[in-house]
Structure 1
Amino acid sequence: MLHVITANQIRCFLFVTWFGVLLFQAEPLLLITEYSAFAILGVVGAIFANATGAGGGVIFVPFFNQLGFDSNSTVATSFAIQCCGMTAGAITWWAFYRKQHIDDKHWHEISKILKLTVPFSVLGIWLAQLFQAARGGIGEAEQLHAGFGVFSIGLAIALFASIPLLKKQSFSSDLARFDCYALTIIAFIGGIITAYLSIGVGELVAIYLIIRKFSITFSIAVAVILSAFSVWSAIIYHGFFSVDVYWPVVLFAGAGAIIGGILAKQVVLYFSATNLKIFFASWVLFLGFSALPY
């Protein structure tokens, strides 16, 4: 029971902190009037992110592109929002594991996988951000659009290809030595991709685990927790060095993301994994094609 209380206390702390930040703004009522609609974006993005293992950048990046954000502000703001939503989702998934699956053999590798992937994801992100700092930013918006489009299409294809695997009744419970090496490499490459697109590492690790026949809920939980650590490591650069985060948007989209992160687990448990993946893969494919330059 302790872990549930702790999770609830952390969620309450997040909301109290958000409310305190809002009250300390110069014109809180004006901010609410101009930016409160972004809370809906945060809820939707976080539900997708935490219910599928894909980062919220799948929603945020194309939306901010349509608003005319430059590539640096798009990625930085996406990271900041995900720090809220992925943290709430990670806490929710970890509490779910501790409450219902701590003795489940299909979940007992969760800590080991996170120990293998989190450090290499962070390393990939930081190395990519050092390169970004050296060249003065992420790059042109057109390059970001094209990269996002290609990555999203590839992700959608991989998701469609993984759907037949969800119908298997028997799941893997142990990592092979090959899996340990593969996960570190995937996490490192995924971290580099994430630094440029604000999505990547969670999706790649989730797809790999599904292909290796681990359960869908386990794979999503791992991806969400990994993504939470990854976005927090990424926001250090954007929050303190690049200073590209558009904080008024984050204030409200982040609050919505916390709600979405808490609700996402229920979405996964309510819908079948197959239907959830089909819907999500179709949406990602649409976003991928719409982002490509024509």
Structure 2
Amino acid sequence: MYFITSYWSRWLFFVSSLSLLYVICIFLNDTPQLFEHRLGAFGHFFFIGLLAAIIANSTGAGGGIIFLPAFTMLGISTETALSTSFAIQCFGMTSGALAWLSFRQRERNLGHYEWHGFTHLLTLSVVGSLIGLLLAQYVLPPLKFDVHSLFSFFSIFVGLYIVLAPFLFKAVPEERSVSLSYIEQLFLLFVAIIGGMVTAWLSVGVGELVAIALLAMKFRVQQAVAVAVCVSSISVIVGVMKYVGQGIISTDILLFAAPAAMIGGAVARVIATWLGAIKLKTMMGIWITLSGVLYLQFGVSA
């Protein structure tokens, strides 16, 4: 655990990730002229990736809540948007997860023990998420309803919840000190399974649902977001495997959005701490709600 939370682990992640993206360029037979062409055609995805990663890693909401509507509105097919969103989040959410794990370790070293039960919460969430994700990807039949509408209503629900959560749940000065009861463990596992299934369909879902469940159980906001970011990171890494080798991931978008997502993931925790959880989550909740409303309108008119 020490190496994972260390300064060097984050640098190793950044270097290896950038090297992987460079290898992708080589396999694409890239040249300076081709890169310049891509810069003009796909450079704006850098800013989309940066914004999505900051939102995702500071609130626990997966980056797909920004990627899917943005990609679809730019004329990208649903299948390519979904697979590319998974791929980008592998970089962005993992960067954010490392940042939150490092923050947790620093607080523990300073004598702050409010992170009670973090490993247990994360384990339950990851197990449940992977069960739901793999069931939806490989066992359950394809969806019989409109993915656009599902995503829109889900975004609106999550956004409104983030805005209203401070009024629904009284803030507590310290994290709860009581471990999860048997019923609570089953509840968190169930929520994570549902979240994993939604993530398989939309590339977003498990982080939001897990964060909501932990907030409802009175866990510290920072811990809820940290667990949500970490479980999202693991889920998208497993989920993207379905699309590797199928040729539907847009490597052009990935080359610009992934580095930005890593930057956003690294700074999101700092921004979240600086602004304060309530103010930041309220602002992001409004943004996510508007995104869902706009995406719903786009899905109906498209």
| Structure 1 residue 100: Cα displacement | 2.0
Report the AA paired with residue 169 of structure 1. P
Superposed, 1:177-192 pairs within 5 Å as 177-192=182-197
Q: State the alpha-carbon separation in 1 of the partners of residues 172 and 66 from structure 2.
A: 30
Deviates more, 1:90-99 or 1:11-20: 11-20
2:223 aligned to which of 198, 213, 218: 218
The alignment status of 1:259 with 2:263, answered yes or no, reads yes
SS in structure 2 at match of 1:69:
coil
Superposed, 1:78-117 pairs within 5 Å as 78-101=85-108, 104-117=112-125
The alignment status of 1:228 with 2:226, answered yes or no, reads no
Q: State the alpha-carbon separation in 1 of the partners of residues 107 and 132 from structure 2.
A: 33
Report the AA paired with residue 65 of structure 1. T
- The structure-2 alpha-carbon separation of the partners of 1:48 and 1:162, relative to structure 1 and needing over 3 Å to count, comes to same
1:156 aligned to which of 150, 155, 159: 159
1:247 aligned to which of 251, 269, 272: 251
Deviates more, 1:195-204 or 1:89-98: 89-98
| Structure 1 residue 277: Cα displacement | 1.2
What is the aligned partner in structure 2 of residue 284 from structure 1?
A: 288
What is the aligned partner in structure 2 of residue 77 from structure 1?
A: 84
- What CA deviation, in whole Å up to 9, does each residue of 1:198-226 have, x standing for no partner? 11000010111112111111111110000
Q: State the alpha-carbon separation in 2 of the partners of residues 59 and 104 from structure 1.
A: 34
CA contact (8 A) 2:114 2:174 kept: no
Report the AA paired with residue 161 of structure 2. A
- In structure 2, the gaps of 5 or more residues are none
- In structure 1, the gaps of 5 or more residues are none
| Structure 1 residue 23: Cα displacement | 4.8
- What CA deviation, in whole Å up to 9, does each residue of 1:231-272 have, x standing for no partner? 0111011223x5421121111101110111111111111102
- Give the % identical residues: 32
1:127 aligned to which of 135, 138, 160: 135
Deviates more, 1:97-106 or 1:183-192: 97-106
CA contact (8 A) 2:172 2:220 kept: no
CA contact (8 A) 1:7 1:95 kept: no
| Structure 1 residue 87: Cα displacement | 0.9
- What CA deviation, in whole Å up to 9, does each residue of 1:80-119 have, x standing for no partner? 1101100111111111112223653321311111111112
SS in structure 2 at match of 1:172:
coil
* Alignment length (residue pairs): 288
- What CA deviation, in whole Å up to 9, does each residue of 1:39-66 have, x standing for no partner? 1111111000001000001110110110
| Structure 1 residue 175: Cα displacement | 2.2
CA contact (8 A) 1:53 1:223 kept: yes
- What CA deviation, in whole Å up to 9, does each residue of 1:149-168 have, x standing for no partner? 11011112221231233633
Report the AA paired with residue 62 of structure 1. P
Q: State the alpha-carbon separation in 2 of the partners of residues 97 and 259 from structure 1.
A: 19
- The structure-2 alpha-carbon separation of the partners of 1:139 and 1:33, relative to structure 1 and needing over 3 Å to count, comes to farther
